[in-house]
Chain A
Amino acid sequence: MKEVIQLLKEGADGKIVLVNEGGTTFLAPVLAKLAGVVCITGALGSHLAIVTREFEIPALMGTKIESPEELDRKYVMIKPEEGSEGALFVKERLDNCT
């Protein structure tokens, strides 16, 4: 919870956060400001997915990521794909995504 408050203070606006553990409903306070949430576990029926939909925040659930640490401070974009799938795009530099 403290980390979430810290994020609120430094400004969560437009950020996409990567969540690496269960019990992720603690994200609720910052959700309204975030650009998106990527959760390495969970699925459409998880509470985090339900709450992000309520806040109209794009979220990827059950996203397999080889080395999550390397994504820190990178520019990423969430894009919906066929059906209920989605994909995470990662870039080193900023051009058309944040």
Chain B
Amino acid sequence: MHIVQFLEDIQSDDFENHGGKAVNLAKLARLGFNVPRGFSISSAVFTQMVKKNQDLTSYLKKVDKSDDFEEILGLSESIQQIIDNYRIPDDVVSEITKNLKHIEQAKFGFAVRSSATIEDRRDVSFAGQAESYLCVQGEEDIIGSVKKVWQSAFSDRALVYLKTKSIPLVEVKMAVLLQEMIPAEISGVMFTANVVTSNTGEILINSTWGLGNTLVSGEIIPDTFVLTKRPLGVIQQVLGDKEFTSKPEIYNLVITDTPEEKRSKFTLEDQALFDIAEVGLKIESSMESPQDIEWCIKPDGKLVILQSRPITTLSEPSYREE
């Protein structure tokens, strides 16, 4: 088994080594969907670090035993420090360097993304708990970002999330996905079912200008569209104020105020919505369940799929009154 594998070489059942995000993207890439070029660093490298380091193992055990959130915050700091000081083995570094060279013309650098083995499961999304780093350039910074992604698996908020979901920390294995940055014109999220009403005959789309990090982090209000699947039609559209736009530049990510004329304009017209929805339906059918899909549109107008995971929350419609 290779510790570093190109996306298209990752097997569709290899969740243990490459995590949900990488395995799902690999499947889509093999099926011919447009996925950014990249490779994954196996969770075996992460596990090796944990096993080699007795202090780290003992801190993780302490977190598993503790119910005191303040104690857990303190333990998280110690865990972060140990990972920060860890030296990634030379053979892994040279594999990473070799693969980076294969991906030429990654003009805007790389996205360094978490792909935890507990992430994107059918019952636990771990959404936004671990970190991703965008527009990372140069071998040294890329290696540093890999460690930061590992650290984020045990950040204070991740530890508390895992505790409240009763997931033992030894089960957390973090693969890291490195993909070329796409200088997106428009980015968004699509649910191939209405997650609010659990209606599987509808599609929800959120979209904004530039990269999608402002949208998923909740910093801006994106445009919202509700579509019917058969026949494809737009039944609701709400203009979001899209206050900031995030754009990749050569060496970093730049966030600017969105110009007024773009704030007051919908990011997607009907035809673009239908094209995105068609791809969403094909992905849903390939993955055999309703999906939560992150996507973007390149400057040449092509749609790129950045992530697909099962929707974790479809149920009978209900609400509770407090």
Contact = CB atoms under 8 A, between A and B. Distances in A.
Contacts of B319: 58, 79-80
Interface residue tally on A, bucketed by range: 35 or more
B322 A45 contact: no
Given A53-B313, A58-B320, 14 more contacts: A1-B157, A24-B218, A25-B161, A29-B69, A29-B161, A42-B219, A45-B204, A45-B215, A45-B222, A46-B217, A47-B216, A77-B321, A79-B319, A97-B321
A77 to B, nearest CB: 6
Interface of B: 69-70, 73, 124-125, 127-129, 156-157, 160-161, 163-164, 188-191, 194-197, 204, 206, 214-222, 224, 226, 235-236, 240, 243, 292, 312-313, 319-322
B222 A22 contact: no
B218 A51 contact: no
A35 B321 CA distance: 9
Given A8-B69, A43-B222, A25 B157 contact: yes
B219 A41 contact: yes
Nearest to A51: B127
Interface of A: 1, 5, 8, 14, 16, 19, 21-26, 28-29, 31-32, 35-36, 39, 41-51, 53-54, 56, 58, 61-62, 77-80, 83-84, 97-98
Given A23-B217, A41-B220, A45-B215, A1 B197 contact: no
A46 B216 contact: yes
A19 B218 CA distance: 10
A41 B221 contact: yes
Contacts of B160: 28-29
B221 A50 contact: no
Contacts of A26: 157
Contact of A54 (B197, B206, B312): B312
